[in-house]
DNA sequence: GCAATAGTGTCTATGAGACAGTATAGC
DNA sequence: GCTATACTGTCTCATAGACACTATTGC
């Protein structure tokens, strides 16, 4: 193999003075509700994609990091405080929401107004933190259309809605990322309250992976993982034998 | 939980006219040589970080996608043609180099000249494709300093060199990504020539993971995976019993 | 008591690791 | 013949799945 092109002069590494792309962050806010994986979306009030649903997002300010921008979007658009993890440097904090960078989308033409590069994040939120959802925001059920690399959104009555920009692709990558990470990280706990039963934890896994899991081996694996701390307490008002409540051991 | 901040007005989603960050791509070009994972780096010829070693990179042009920019960097700075994979939509092509988006780095201050957001990619290259390396480019051995989330670079004589910008962190994320993906994807084949022995394949895994693997179970797992196609040919000039050569079945 | 789930114990199938034994190249 | 590795076969151990059995709640 030979060097096909002349080597680019180093001078070209100087930033261009014009024609810079805009940079945004978009945040996929995921939760589990009604037995489904759901995402919080915002109804657009202007062109393009007027009245389409879109990911909460915003432009990256010149002095803020990408993570700070994503946390700001979480705070301003969903009233949530975030905690940063992911990318091999899982950070811990006291905040209730798990946040991790997802992927960066930059196809020219993805925003008809001009060149916009979007650094996508995804957040995992316990459903109880999304009680009060204001006007023009809504939680949608998600359906991954694997062959096409995009997701579709539905309301509680199975009515499908339209997504703005390439946000269907971004949602698809988010779903696939969460599914993948479920296998080798403790990401599932982020969608549950502080105390939970093994049945509830298994439901989380089954909902996200969209398949039944073996109850016995799920119990064994979870209890053997050392990630769970028994509380000694039992759930209440079940109509059947109450299960023990466990806590997630963040240290492990 | 309540909505702590007023909802950001939608007007704020308009792109800012000034103070836009610059966007670059940096490419971690990885190969295996001399039994080590190595990266191709470029010696800087100007301030800041004069004479430090840096990842090959360049500014994203206003009409090109991020992938196109990364492919251009590969072509112009390493004479390589790329093939795009990754992020749940593994695309295949006829090109010899595997390329996948890694992570986006945007901390303010990471480039003292101004706000620069870098979308990092990584490429896996068979060593024979990196024979002629021109002046001011060099392959370095890598050492991951796990606790600090960065990698260090060494030449063949174990002399350590300095990395520019946050490129040590980017290298660290790349190493960790490759290690991770080795477990659940067929990424290891990208670092080998078209035909290879099981021993050579195992060496790839051991070099990247930095640990000895069990030979018997490695053979069994690989042969059972359906990813290998026996060629019937044997390697030559070994000094010991020659092993069969296999090919990677891209379709599977 | 009945329904529904929690939790325990055990059997089996599968895959990984360990190791023995045979095969084949260069020297 | 010697050395180094390829390749085959077998045993053991750990884990996952399956299933049987008992326990505990609300009704």
pLDDT of residue B85: 65
DSSP, res A17 = S
Residue B60 pLDDT > 60: yes
The span from the CA of B154 to the CA of B41, in Å, is 11
Distance from residue A238's CA to nucleotide C4's C1', rounded to whole Å: 9
**Which residue from B minimizes the CA distance to A55?**
B13
User: Which residues of chain A have a CB within 8 Å of the CB of B3?
Assistant: 79, 132, 134
Residue A97 pLDDT > 50: yes
Among A66-80, B73-87, B88-102, B188-202, where is mean pLDDT lowest?
A: B88-102
Report, as an integer, the average pLDDT of A72-88. Answer: 74
How would you classify the pairing of strands B97-105 and B82-84? Answer: parallel
Among A21-25, A52-56, A127-131, where is mean pLDDT lowest?
A: A127-131
Which residues are CB-contacts of A80 (< 8 A; sequence separation ≥ 6)? A29, A74, A96, A97, A123, A125, A129, A130, B1
pLDDT of residue B189: 95
Tell me the CA distances in angstroms from B64 to A7, A108, B95, B209, one per residue in order: 19, 7, 19, 35
Q: If DSSP states are collapsed to H, E and C, what string results for chain B?
A: CCCCCCCCCHHHHCCCCCCCCEEEEEEEEEEEECCEEEEEEEECCCCCCCCCEECCEEECCCCCCHHHHHHHHHHHHHCCCEEECCCCCCCCCCCCEEEEEEEEECCCCCCCCCCEEEEEEEEECCHHHHCCCCCCEEEEEEEEEHHHCEEEEECCCCCEECECCCHHHHHHHHHHHHHHHHHHCCHHHHHCCCEECHHHHHHHHHHHHCCCCCHHHHHHHHHHHCCEEEEEEECCCCCCCCCEEEEECCCC
Considering any atom of strand D, list protein residues whose CB lies within 7 Å: A 213-214, 216-218, 220-221, 224, 234, 236-242; B 197-199, 215-216, 219, 238-244
* Closest residue (Cα, C1') to C25: B241
The span from the CA of B111 to the CA of B100, in Å, is 23
**Confidence band, pLDDT 50/70/90 cuts, at residue B250:** confident
Report, as an integer, the average pLDDT of A120-124. Answer: 97
Q: Residue B28's closest CA among B112, B127, B102?
A: B102
Q: Which residue matches tokens 């393009």?
A: A48
Q: What SS3 state is found at A147?
A: helix
Q: Which residue matches tokens 């705070």?
A: A75
Residue B161 pLDDT > 80: yes
A83 against B97, higher pLDDT: B97
User: Which residues of chain A have a CB within 8 Å of the CB of B76?
Assistant: 5-8
Residue B11 pLDDT > 60: no
Residue A251 pLDDT > 70: yes
Structure tokens at B18: 């000034």
Residues 195-224 of chain B sitting with CB below 7 angstroms of strand C: 213-214, 216-218, 220-221, 224
Residue A193 pLDDT > 70: yes
Structure tokens at B60: 């994203």
Report, as an integer, the average pLDDT of B165-192. Answer: 96
**Confidence band, pLDDT 50/70/90 cuts, at residue A17:** low
Question: CB-CB: which of A4, A12, A176 is closest to B79?
Answer: A4
Shortest Cα–Cα distance, B87 to chain A (Å): 7
| pLDDT > 70 fraction of chain A, expressed in percent and rounded | 87
Q: Which residue matches tokens 């002095």?
A: A63
Question: CB-CB: which of A5, A63, A96 is closest to B108?
Answer: A63
A185 against B86, higher pLDDT: A185
- Whether the beta carbon of A216 falls within 7 A of nucleic chain C: the reply is yes
Query: Between chains, do A46 and B3 touch, taking CB under 8 Å as contact?
Result: no
Q: What SS3 state is found at A124?
A: strand
Q: What SS3 state is found at A119?
A: strand
Structure tokens at A40: 């919080």
Report, as an integer, the average pLDDT of A64-84. Answer: 88
Report, as an integer, the average pLDDT of A183-205. Answer: 95
Query: Between chains, do B15 and A2 touch, taking CB under 8 Å as contact?
Result: no
Shortest Cα–Cα distance, A206 to chain B (Å): 20
Structure tokens at A110: 């993805």
pLDDT of residue B16: 52
Tell me the CA distances in angstroms from B136 to B42, B53, B140, one per residue in order: 6, 9, 12
* Closest residue (Cα, C1') to D9: B216
The span from the CA of A108 to the CA of A115, in Å, is 6
State the distance between the two ends of chain A, measured CA to CA, in whole angstroms: 48
pLDDT of residue A15: 52
Residue B32 pLDDT > 60: yes
The phi and psi torsions of B179 (rounded to 5 degrees) equal -60, -45
DSSP, res A79 = -
**Confidence band, pLDDT 50/70/90 cuts, at residue B88:** very low
Q: Residue A101's closest CA among A62, A139, A140, A73?
A: A73
Q: Residue B122's closest CA among B185, B58, B31, B235?
A: B31
Most confident of A12-26, A74-88, B57-71: B57-71
Element (H, E) at A4: none
Q: Which residue matches tokens 């008809």?
A: A112
Residue A198 pLDDT > 80: yes
pLDDT of residue A133: 84
A156 against B96, higher pLDDT: A156
Residue A6 pLDDT > 70: no
Given a contact cutoff of 8 angstroms between Cβ atoms, the answer to whether A57 and B13 are in contact is yes
pLDDT of residue B82: 64
Q: Residue B216, CA: closest nucleotide via C1'?
A: C17
Query: Between chains, do B1 and A108 touch, taking CB under 8 Å as contact?
Result: no
B79 against A177, higher pLDDT: A177
- Whether the beta carbon of A81 falls within 7 A of nucleic chain C: the reply is no
**Confidence band, pLDDT 50/70/90 cuts, at residue A132:** confident
**Confidence band, pLDDT 50/70/90 cuts, at residue A228:** very high
**Confidence band, pLDDT 50/70/90 cuts, at residue B135:** confident
**Confidence band, pLDDT 50/70/90 cuts, at residue A186:** very high
């Amino acid at each position: 193999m030979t060097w096909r092109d002349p080597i680019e002069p180093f001078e070209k590494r100087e930033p261009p003075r014009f024609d810079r792309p805009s940079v945004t962050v978009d945040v996929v806010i995921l939760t589990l509700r009604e037995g489904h994986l759901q995402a919080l979306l915002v109804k657009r009030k202007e062109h393009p994609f007027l009245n389409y649903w879109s990911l909460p997002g915003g432009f990256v300010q010149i002095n803020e990091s990408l993570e700070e921008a994503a946390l700001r979007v979480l705070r301003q658009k969903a009233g949530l405080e975030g905690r940063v993890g992911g990318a091999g440097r899982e950070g811990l904090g006291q905040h209730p929401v798990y946040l991790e960078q997802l992927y960066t989308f930059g196809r020219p033409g993805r925003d008809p107004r001009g060149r916009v590069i979007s650094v996508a994040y995804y957040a995992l939120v316990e459903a109880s933190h999304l009680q009060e959802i204001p006007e023009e925001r809504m939680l949608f059920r998600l359906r991954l259309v694997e062959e096409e690399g995009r997701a579709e959104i539905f309301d509680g009555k199975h009515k499908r809605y339209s997504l703005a920009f390439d946000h269907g692709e971004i949602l698809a990558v988010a779903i696939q990322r969460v599914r993948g990470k479920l296998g080798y990280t403790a990401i599932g706990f982020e969608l549950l309250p502080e105390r939970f039963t093994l049945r509830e934890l298994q439901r989380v896994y089954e909902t996200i992976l969209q398949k039944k899991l073996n109850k016995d081996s799920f119990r064994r694996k979870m209890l053997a993982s050392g990630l769970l701390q028994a509380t000694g307490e039992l759930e209440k008002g079940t109509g059947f034998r109450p299960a023990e409540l466990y806590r997630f051991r963040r240290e492990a």
